[in-house]
Amino acid sequence: MNTQAQQEIIEEFALFDDWMDKYEHLIGLGKSLPLISDQYKTDEFLIKGCQSKVWLRADQKEGRVYYSADSDAIITKGIVSVLIRAFSGLSAQDIVKAPTDFIKEIGLSDHLSPTRANGLVSMIKQMKLYATAFAAQNNA
Amino acid sequence: MCKSDLTCRPMGFSIDNIRADFPILHRQVNGKPLVYFDNAATSQKPQQVIDALVHYYSHQNANIHRGVHALSQEATDAYEAARDLIQSFFNAKHREEIILTSGTTHSINLVAHGYRSLLSQGDEIIVGQAEHHSNIVPWQMACDLTGAILRVLPMDQNGQLKLDDFQNLLNTKTKLVVVNQVSNALGTINPIKTIIDLAHKQGARVLIDGAQASSHIKVDVHALDVDYYTTSAHKMCGPTGVGMLYGKKELLEALPAYQGGGEMIKEVYFEGTTYAGLPHKFEAGTPNIAGGIAFGAAIKYLNSIGLDAIAKHEDELLQYATAGLKDIDDLIIYGDVPDKTAVISFNINGLHPYDVGTLLDQMGIAVRTGQHCAQPVMDFYGIPGTVRASFAFYNTKEEIDLLISGVRRAVSMLL
């Protein structure tokens, strides 16, 4: 089952019938992604496996996980911003369990070559890792 | 130009005939006709090379060098005929100086592995600053094991090696100099003849990584007096997984064997083994037979067009593309020098190469983005990578027009 945010993203991307509109939308999302402070642009927050650099961090407030990220490439920022919308604000437990099929449904994986897709996979993996750590913390 | 009418196409250089030889050039990508500008990563294959692979597996498949049966003999003859074609293409003096490997990386590792026994503590290897990782890491490994020291021959802002520095770096401890003939990241051509002569005066040997050069520039290993020269078939219209190491006979004879196995031995006893002579000493195991034969077909194909005609066409494409791209605001070309092959490594101020490459891909234009396995070059310029468009003789000015308008379109979307 897609989460509500994921369903909204799928509906939003369904509006685009050509690649250019879709990428213009991603670029727009990338440009509007709130930046993370330079102090977090360190190796500790860097996701490996992407052609562009992606820094991702997560905080837990009142039982919900909030992500913030930045990248040196705009399209990557757009992609990570979609992922943040899909997962941010859920409980750690829900993020761990959340499906990731929506990536295919919005046609992103089709347009991403294996190298790039690895970046996407690495981003999701890192988000889930943060959630797993928070969930373990909560249970302790 | 090709001298004999037998090997020349009757109509000379015909781009339409050439493109007709490459089936992949007629496909679509992302709904648009493919524009393939990633030739520095790998070239496309003409039908003649594809046919050679199919013909071998359909009619000649047998293990080589040992069967007494007719098929094995036929396969052996075809494989060894390819070695002869390669020998003549590079003008090596002896056929046994041509070692068939899996590619440039394998060739370099083969020599570097041998040097583990030839280097001593304090010996020095000079490596160019603009090398592919494949021509850095094997030497670092050899240095780590022997206590030899890796010295870096720096390049200037245009990607050209600083020859004054080279003379200062050379000394009696220098055992080996390893540089590329053409930089994969920038396309700049290095003055390898001068480098070889200077190194030899100091008593050092020279290995040239020719992966980016051999299908664009006529290479004569004998005239160059180079000690080791390496290349990959797949950058020369041949298949992947096969390549060449040229080495001077006396040097290859003195170089310790690399991998042990069948083919490379003379006699095997549990008390000890004697090795086969060249080239088999370095060709352990069943080789890439089909690949070797098709490498020969690729050489024949390149000969049929002629490297001079290829270089002329590619240079026209380079000049045309360089002028068109320079018209784009804030576009920076790295290694923009007269002496280069048809490679343009560029960025647009403020834009990430990944973004530009991703959008070009959507338009059916294949370029490479990133560090091009040459991280020190990117560090030198302080950039995350470049967009690299690399042209081959089957590309056209019309395709370059698509690249230029594609880059403009990507810029307008991203800025």
Nearest to B369 among A20, A51, A74 (CB): A51
Task: Say whether B355 and A73 touch across the interface (CB within 8 A).
Answer: yes
CA distance A116 to A122: 10
| Residue B376 falls inside a structural domain | yes
DSSP bridge pairs for B151: B126
Q: Which residue has the tokens 């994969």?
A: B184
> How far, CA to CA in Å, does A125 sit from each of A26, A87, A99, A131, B384?
21, 12, 12, 10, 23
Looking at B247, B273, B303, which one is the last position of a domain?
B303
Is residue B311 located within the same domain as residue B297?
Answer: no
Q: What is the pLDDT of residue A116?
A: 58
Residue ranges of the domains in chain A?
4-135
- My answer on whether B119 and B216 are in the same domain is yes
Query: Using the beta-carbon criterion (under 8 Å), do A51 and B361 form an inter-chain contact?
Result: no
The answer to whether residue B2 sits within a structural domain is: no
Residue B3 lies inside a defined structural domain of this protein: no
Which residues are CB-neighbours of B250 under 8 A, at least 6 positions away?
none
Nearest by CB to A74, from B384, B385, B414: name it. B414
Give the CATH number for residue B232. 3.40.640.10
ipTM, 2 dp: 0.89
Is residue B139 in a domain? yes
Report how far residue A131's alpha carbon sits from residue A91's, in angstroms, rounded to the nearest whole number. 8
Does B249 lie in the same domain as B110?
Answer: yes
Closest-CA residue to A123 (of A64, A75, A62):
A75
Closest residue in chain B to residue A29, using alpha carbons only: B414
- Tell me, yes or no, whether B36 and B69 share the same domain: no
For residue B311, the domain's CATH number is: 3.90.1150.10
Give how many domains chain B has, as a whole number: 2
Integer Rg of chain A from CA: 14
Residue B354 to residue A19, Cβ atoms within 8 A? no
Q: Nearest Cβ partner of B414 from A19, A27, A111?
A: A27
Across the interface, whether the CB atoms of A27 and B413 are under 8 A apart is answered yes
Whether B413 sits inside 8 A of A116 (CB atoms) is no
Does residue B4 lie within any of the structural domains? no
Interface test with A, best of B405, B414, B415 (most A CBs within 10 A): B414
Domain boundary among B274, B303, B332: B303
- Cβ-defined contact of A73 to B361 (cutoff 8 Å): no
**Residue that is last in its domain, among B303, B335, B358:** B303
- Is residue A91 within 8 A of residue A63, CB to CB? The reply is yes
- All residue ranges of chain B with pLDDT < 70 are 1-11
The answer to the question of residue B5 being in a domain is no
Q: How far apart are CA B43 and CA B294, in angstroms?
A: 14
Pair B28, B174 in one domain: no
Residues B199 and B335 in one domain: no
Q: How far apart are CA A116 and CA A50, in angstroms?
A: 7
Min Cα separation B41/chain A (Å): 15
Cβ pairs bridging A and B (under 8 Å): 41
Q: Which of A23, A52, A72 lies at the smallest CB-CB distance from B362?
A: A23
Distance CA(B298)–CA(B86), nearest Å, equals 10
CB of B41 within 8 Å of a chain A CB? The answer is: no
Name the closest residue on chain B to residue A27, using Cα atoms. Answer: B414
State the residue range of the domain holding B355. 15-46+306-414
Query: What pLDDT, on a 0 to 100 scale, did the predictor assign at position B10?
Result: 43
pLDDT tens sequence across A11-62: 998 888 888 898 999 999 999 887 788 888 899 999 876 678 899 999 999 9
Spatial CB neighbours of B157, under 8 Å, sequence gap ≥ 6? none
DSSP state of B190: P
Residue B1 lies in a domain: no
Domain assignment present for residue B260? The answer is yes
Chain A CA closest to residue B30 = A111
Q: Which residues of A are identified as catalytic?
A: 50
Q: What is the pLDDT of residues A89-130, one digit of tens each?
A: 999 999 999 988 888 888 776 555 555 555 788 888 899 999
Among chain A residues, the shortest Cα distance to B371 is held by A51
Residues of chain B contacting residue A22, judged by C-beta atoms under 8 Å apart: none
Residue B275 near residue B139, CB atoms below 8 Å: no
State in Å, rounded, how far the first CA of chain A is from the last one. Answer: 28
Q: Under CATH, what is the fold of the domain A4-135? A: Sufe protein. Chain: A (3.90.1010)
Q: Do B177 and B68 sit in the same domain of this protein? A: yes
Is B56 found in the same domain as B42? Answer: no
Q: Do A116 and B358 touch (CB under 8 A)?
A: yes
